[in-house]
Amino acid sequence: MPQPSNGSVALEGPGGSPSKGAARISRARGRFFPVGVGPVMRKELGDHLSGLRFGILLVLIGVTCLAAVYAASSVIREAASNSAQVEFAFLYLFTASGESLPSFVSFITFLAPLLGIALGFDALNSERSQGTLSRLISQPIHRDAVLQGKFFAGLSVVGLALTALVVIVGGIGIVLLGTTPSLQEVGRLVVFIIVTVIYVGFWLALAQLFSVLFKQAATSALASIAVWLFFAIFASLIVGLVVDAVAPAGENATYAELLRHEELSTTLNRISPGTLYDEATSALLNPSVRSLGVLVYEQVDRAIVGALSFSQSLILCWPQIVALIGCVLAFFTIGYILFMREEVRA
């Protein structure tokens, strides 16, 4: 049998043909995901896309977002009819709010976590309660492939749903406004979809963590919804109380006290993933945003008014994007460690 020149051993079958082991090794090296993740991911994708739960949530988010876009288009057309200069009108479809409805981004910030929770709260405890988890990990796949396959399947479904929703909204915007998006606007929307998938991925990782911790699916769902409600409603109230106690700023407060109050409030509010997502999308979809922190008069005095380029806006919101990615990795890693240490019995 001839030896390869690089010192590795060539596996050959009868007649010099490659053996089955060599074929399996070559296929494994060409995989994007580890062995076993693909089959689990395909199975979960089919379950999610054919499930009634995903359809109901997608219809709910889609209807509310389309209503917000219609209200925003009315505001933009009214401004254009009054000879007001509306720059980046296509992007304002996603950020402008009507008289009675919030903006598209506001609805996504509030409702998109429900999509991640719905896809992940029973990822593992449903397998455990049905008695299929032991059968699943007894297959010739690694145990971690089960968790990774379910997580990547959820992210794929979220990405597919958000892309379809943004394309539908964009098509409606083209019809209503009579304008087409520029290349820069398309690039900003693509990054917006990626950031939104990361944001929903945080809630998906959190829900999967609770599905590992709790044996009952109802318990993990309630825990995930409780965390969502805390960040959506109560976190800002608690931050306000803490800031008023630590750095009070009354009617007779000095300039330094007011600045300290606002800086502390901004810093503490960034603990919430919703705040990080709001700041990132504000910089991406509104090119006129030049800063995401507290600005004093000396910093804006005689500043040239203008829109930022796509690369500058991406640099501006990059810390928020990295923070969201770090939160996703942290919760996924905790769930991964707990699941790998769990004893699964038939």
What pLDDT is attached to residue 178?
Answer: 77
Angstrom CA distances, 86 to 29, 92, 175, 181, 257, stand at 52, 9, 17, 13, 38
What pLDDT is attached to residue 209?
Answer: 92
What pLDDT is attached to residue 331?
Answer: 93
What pLDDT is attached to residue 325?
Answer: 95
What pLDDT is attached to residue 118?
Answer: 87
152, 48 Cβ separation under 8 angstroms: no
Specify the 3-state DSSP secondary structure of 301.
coil
38, 149 Cβ separation under 8 angstroms: yes
How would DSSP label each residue in 96-139? ---SSS--HHHHHHHHHHHHHHHHHTTTTHHHHHHT-HHHHHTS
Angstrom CA distances, 342 to 71, 124, 143, 144, 318, stand at 50, 12, 10, 11, 36
Specify the 3-state DSSP secondary structure of 141.
coil
What pLDDT is attached to residue 297?
Answer: 55
What pLDDT is attached to residue 140?
Answer: 67
- Beta-bridge partner residues of 143: none
Per-residue pLDDT of the chain in tens (346 residues, 90 and over written 9): 444 444 443 444 444 444 444 444 444 444 556 667 777 888 888 877 887 877 887 788 888 777 877 777 777 776 655 544 456 777 888 887 766 778 888 888 888 898 889 888 887 877 777 767 667 666 667 777 888 888 998 899 889 888 988 888 888 878 877 778 888 889 999 999 999 999 999 999 999 999 888 888 889 999 999 999 999 888 889 998 998 888 887 777 777 888 888 888 888 988 999 999 999 999 898 888 877 877 665 555 555 666 788 899 899 899 999 999 999 999 999 998 988 887 666 5
60, 66 Cβ separation under 8 angstroms: no
What pLDDT is attached to residue 11?
Answer: 42
What pLDDT is attached to residue 222?
Answer: 93
What pLDDT is attached to residue 34?
Answer: 63
How would DSSP label each residue in 229-258? HIIIIIHHHHHHHHHHHHS---TT--HHHH
Q: Which long-range contacts (C-beta less than 8 Å, at least 24 apart) are formed by 264-272?
A: 265/239, 265/240, 266/293, 266/294, 268/239, 268/242, 268/243, 269/235, 269/236, 269/239, 270/320, 270/323, 271/235, 271/239, 272/231, 272/235, 272/236
- Rounded Cα distance between 142 and 135, Å, is 12
pTM for the model: 0.82
